[in-house]
Amino acid sequence: MTLITNGAGHGPLDFKRNQACALDLGWINQLRVNRAAADRRAASLANRRSVKKEYQAAWLLKAIECIDLTTLGGDDTPGRVERLCLKALRPLRADLMSALGVANLHTGAVCVYHEMIAPAVKALGSSGLPVAAVSTGFPAGLTSMETKVREIELSVAAGATEIDIVITRQHVLTNNWQALYDEMLAYRAACGEAHLKAILATGDLLTLENVARASWVCMMAGADFIKTSTGKEGVNATIPVALTMVRAIREYHEQTGFEVGFKPAGGVSSAKTALGYLMLMKEELDRQWLESHLFRIGASSLLTDIERQLEHYVTGQYSAAHRHAMP
């Protein structure tokens, strides 16, 4: 059976980037999250029967289109980044592509540290695939503000078209929303035309109310994406946290007309987990949030499991994980 996908586009021509608006502290301070209700909703999603056969395969192809294929290791080398980029441009083996009837498929972006931007840009060439760089003292975000802003500027100058920043968690933990808003405004200005993805590090924020409020402040300051985690916290992406964030995105869109993207990251390593996030986006937001300009999954090993599941769909057999090794 031939499966059809849209290809990993970078957004429709009429897509409007989020613009900063005034910080409304009255709105921020009144936000509440019903933890019990969020947990029940998360459980209902987890307990549903998953899609099967060709429908599952089509959803998994969509997941590939939305992956930020990531390497953030202290032992990264230009050679490793080049191999990662080649994998991003050709995420499935040729025989699987042919069997699935897919001619054009690539991931949503490649995500690297600043020092690896140049090798990534060179490897991706004229493909148009975005290079995302983590910035602002990733993962802790505890360098000086001057250093953080300069780091963004240098990464944009090096060729990064998306910047994944980390917020200062102490602003959230002390309810200093004005400081967080001002920080985000400075980051947005430093990004220029590059898209700004705000990492909340939700595992450090203690409560869902803090997650909701931080999401709103970042969006009010012009964030193009809000992202759950750096992948370095003790607790990373979870469905209750994701539910809180996407509902903030939905209400922000209703109030302002701007569409803000969402990126779960950290611990999203199985095809089943990725499908859960796709279903969440479809049910809580709308169809357009299943495209790569509004949804990304930060992952390094996820692609291996998706490729194994697609091979099982095509051949009826599971292959060993090492046959799909990542760079």
Q: Which residue has the tokens 């990304």?
A: 296
Residue of 62, 87, 197, 263 marked active site: 263
Long-range contacts at 308-312 (CB < 8 A, ≥ 24 apart): 308/271, 309/56, 309/57, 309/60, 309/271, 310/57, 310/60, 310/61, 310/92, 310/96, 310/100, 311/96
Instruction: Tell whether the torsion through CA atoms of 16, 21, 27 and 33 is positive or negative.
Output: positive
The tokens describing 166, both together, are 């980390």
Residue of 62, 148, 197, 227 marked active site: 227
227 is catalytic: yes
Cα–Cα dist 195/164, whole Å: 9
Residue 294 identity (one-letter amino acid) = L
Residues 6 or more apart whose CB falls under 8 angstroms from that of 156 comprise 163, 190, 191, 192, 193, 194
Residue of 164, 204, 224, 305 marked active site: 164
Residue 84 identity (one-letter amino acid) = L
Which residues are known to be catalytic? 164, 227, 263
